[in-house]
Structure 1
Amino acid sequence: MTIPDAGAAISSSIAVSGVSGNAPSALQVGVDIKHTYRGDLVIDLIAPDGTAYRLKNSSSSDSADNVITTYTVNASSEVANGTWKLQVRDVYSADTGYIDAWSLQF
């Protein structure tokens, strides 16, 4: 999924079902985003109820390529089942990229 250069945020969804109760306090969010200047990116995890969890802020001094990492989120107040979204926004112009993959580990 292509991330618009200095444009609107995009969201990629994962539907979760068959998990009883709430999400864990150490929800693992695997992120694989290819981008030529990762400091441009703001990344949020959006819970099924619309609550946003900031995974990464933009940083004009972070000129490295790509965001390939696992974030840990305390999502214990969220029901596990439902549609979770990874929302990504490129806040600066000139560099481009795309969401290659992402995952949730309950």
Structure 2
Amino acid sequence: MLKITETPVFTHVVKIPVPADEGHRDEQIRATFLALPDDELAEFNLSTLSGQKDLLRKVTKGLRDIVGDDDVELPFTPELLEQLIGRSWARGAMINAYCFAIAAARRGN
């Protein structure tokens, strides 16, 4: 049975290739996203930096498995989101995870 909700959210693992000496190391976080309808999603120009960041500001509703220098998990805040989407490697991974999840949901319908 399909349930239609006003604010459909989903949580996915986001694999992030963190730059490191001689390459990168794979890290992962869990992000909770809002599933936008097609007409709202089409408003974002993902070929621009501002469009990418605006999309992630709109759809990201939670972040988990992110720790600070003291190894204590950081709570989700707008500042944490800005810090993360200010890094191209993290921003790209989040957009890929979101778009893949939305595309997979479309294929399943």
* Structure with higher strand content: 1
TM-score (norm 1): 0.28
* Structure with higher helix content: 2
TM-score (norm 2): 0.28
Structure number with greater Rg is: 2
* Greater relative CO (CA pairs within 8 A, separation 6+): 1
